[in-house]
Amino acid sequence: MKKTLTAIILSLAAAATLSLGMAACGNPDDGTPAGATNGLEYTLSDDGTYYTLAGIGTATETEIIIPETYRDLPVTEIEADAFRSNKDITAVTIPASITTIGPAVFNDCSSLESVTFEGDELDSLGNFAFINCTSLTEIALPEGIPTIGTYTFSGCSNLTAITIPASVTSIEASAFTLCNRLATINYRGSRTQWAGIDIADQNEALYEANINYNS
């Protein structure tokens, strides 16, 4: 009986030690708010005031919900190439806290069908951001971005509709090349504002689509 009791006590002590060890190492999902995707990879800014989403990390979900905060600090950027060539992601929700999306973030995410921006402001959208997202059918860009960069939507062969904010003043070369199914542009500005946008070469799809102004 004493031996059995001793064995039980030792077993419980070992379990407690293991638990403490795991807590010391840290839970990779710790700090992610409820409802957001666990396991994503983050980088803390040099000044320690915000996080950048760096990659898919250990996340296995196909519908990614990026949190506004991580470990009680805002998530304000998505790093270049963060989800590049990920073939599993089908949907992404981007919170209002994100102000910068780096280059090639969703480059060649061929299963990506839906991108939802929860906020009304976005300061920067990187070149190649959605290149070759062949399953993407429509997207609404938030206000704030001044430029749709080179190859941003190039190769989005099933893109049929896009909402472009009035803040856009230039669309760089090949931003919409090979977007052969683009049929509808919902532009949030006026016809006069659209005429003032500097549209570079290799964006023929923009001239062939129907444009709805102030929408």
pLDDT above 80 for 9 = no
Average pLDDT over residues 60-89: 98
pLDDT above 70 for 10 = no
Segment 19-35, tens digit of pLDDT: 433 332 324 446 899 99
Tokens encoding 70:
């991580």
User: pTM of the full predicted structure?
Assistant: 0.85
d(CA 71, CA 187) in angstroms, rounded, equals 37
**157 in Cβ contact with 202 (< 8 Å):** no
Residue percentage of the chain with pLDDT more than 70: 86
d(CA 106, CA 85) in angstroms, rounded, equals 7
Tokens encoding 133:
């997202």
Pick the CATH number of 31-212 from 3.30.420.10, 1.20.58.100, 1.10.3720.10, 3.80.10.10: 3.80.10.10
The pLDDT of residue 12 is 44
